[in-house]
Structure 1
């Protein structure tokens, strides 16, 4: 009975991935070093690269090749190691959405692994994702963000601006959590009137 070859994976985070020339070199290196699947979040900050393959040495060399490209704030947040997730993808895939990247990691059984490796950057990145999609589609918000301290039932901050929430979260990150609500799901009595009105207007028109 033949044994299934072990699968190895790794995760890289950079400040951003926007250069198509650099990305083509990343892809070419993956092909040359027997990386089975490469998944990239590009188009802005942060840049994220997930790679998996059956050749641990090749995967390790690929990480070194990417590092040599001098991506800003390069960090291999999960070094090549035996994978526990589900295999099934090959080739190259790309997305501009951090949320979509996380969804794919979850489908592979790597949701917890990915969040742990990314750390606080997950919250920051998802908020930025929401902000970017909102500003591209409409200047009015479609989500409300509430920053809460577990020691105090009253919200620290309620806003429809994800950037403000993200800054406040960074300032209070050791003792706070962020909750996201679709517009109009919270009672108007709990949300500043001008934020509630603007969010509901957008929700009703979309």
Structure 2
């Protein structure tokens, strides 16, 4: 990925509404962000990444406006420290403008680890202290 990337993490009670997921998918496309959702049960978790800070914030605002139960901005929009990125095909800009879903928190954690974000993810989720 060229330049600086920005990301955020959101927790909710659950993500089950297909209408809301469709809105988030449209927002990811509109704001050129990559979004990864843990949907289908409790808890709901959303990770978003993009190259433009304001667009990532707009995606986060879209989530907030959908009024998810127990909405919590676990990790506000912040620059991704360069040392967290690994050389991997998953880090390029091909994913911008798309939304992916996973079924389990474990699968989401695996995706975060593949991106070099395991410690950040665990702290943001409250699994460990900073």
TM, length-normalised to structure 1: 0.54
How many aligned positions are there?
Answer: 118
Q: Secondary structure in 1 aligned to 2:36?
A: strand
Residue among 41, 45, 59 paired with 1:44 = 41
Q: Which runs of 5+ in 1 are unaligned?
A: 123-206
Give the C-alpha shift of residue 62 in structure 1.
1.1
Which residue pairs with 2:88 in the alignment?
none
1:83 aligns with 2:90: no
Q: Provide the C-alpha distance between the structure 2 equivalents of 1:95 and 1:61, rounded to a whole number of angstroms.
A: 23
Cα RMSD (Å): 1.7
Q: Which runs of 5+ in 2 are unaligned?
A: 86-90
Give the C-alpha shift of residue 30 in structure 1.
1.4
Give the C-alpha shift of residue 5 in structure 1.
1.7
Q: After the TM superposition, which residues 165-184 of structure 1 pair with which residues of structure 2 at under 5 Å, given as runs?
A: none
Considering only CA atoms, is the larger Rg found in Structure 1 or Structure 2? 1
Which residue pairs with 2:29 in the alignment?
31
Q: Provide the C-alpha distance between the structure 2 equivalents of 1:98 and 1:34, rounded to a whole number of angstroms.
A: 24
Q: Runs ≥4 in structure 1, deviation > 6 angstroms?
A: none
Residue among 101, 105, 126 paired with 1:94 = 101
